[in-house]
Amino acid sequence: MNRLVRLLSFASVLFTLAHPVIAQEAADPFHPHIRTANERLRAMMSAGVQVSPTLHGIVKRIETSDVIVYLDMHILTTPGVAAQSQFVQAAGGRRFVRVVIDSRFSGAPLVGLLGHELQHVAEIAGEPTVVDPLSLAAFYRRIGFKSPAGGTNRFESAAAIATGRRVMQDAIDHPSEVNAAVVRVKQAAASAR
């Protein structure tokens, strides 16, 4: 458990321009502002919103903002980094953020990482001056601190650390709902084969 908390605390905000290909990803009708093509993330988001009032509140904040976030999973190779958020672009009255979570996580820790990163997205949503990676860095110099993991351009906030832990605890306290989501995804993957 100590290891999990440490990994969660190192989930970070990374300030680089991401790839323009992001605009081609499918919208998720289930949360218009929180989009993913990843079935596992979709299932864990559903379970997380069900069991965690904190995550539910964050989702509502993002849904009523001008921010669109794309969630994805792959293996993150930077030591100590379990997840990261990047500002992509501001365009057409929308601001686009990308969240990537290390695909080696599952269950309650994965739900906690979603809570952590979506708290960063809600922080960005509440700060209209954030319009590019530089203004994002300036914002996190004000409200956050340099992350101990992964180099100079990574920042962290105390609120995201606390939120990630709270959401993970909500998931730990509701194992049947979270496990049901894990089983649903495995069954869907098996029937697709």
Residue numbers of the site for Zn ion (CB under 5 A)? 11-12, 156, 160
DSSP state of 66: S
Phi/psi zone of residue 161: left (φ > 0), alpha (ψ -120 to 50 degrees), beta? alpha
* Residue among 8 and 68 whose Cβ is closer to Zn ion: 8
Instruction: State the residue number with the nearest CB to Zn ion.
Output: 160
> Residues 24-49, buried b or exposed e (16+ Cβ, 10 A)?
eeeebeebebbbbebebbbbbbbbbb
Residue 41 CB, shortest distance to Zn ion, in Å, is: 17
**Shortest distance, position 84 Cβ to Zn ion, whole Å:** 8
Residue 40 or 154 with smaller CB distance to Zn ion: 154
Q: Specify the 3-state DSSP secondary structure of 14.
A: strand
> From the CB of 171, what's the least distance to Zn ion, in Å?
18
To Zn ion, the closest distance from the beta carbon of 25 in angstroms equals 22
**Cβ distance to Zn ion smaller for residue 141 or 186:** 141
As a whole number of angstroms, the distance between CA 74 and CA 59 comes to 22
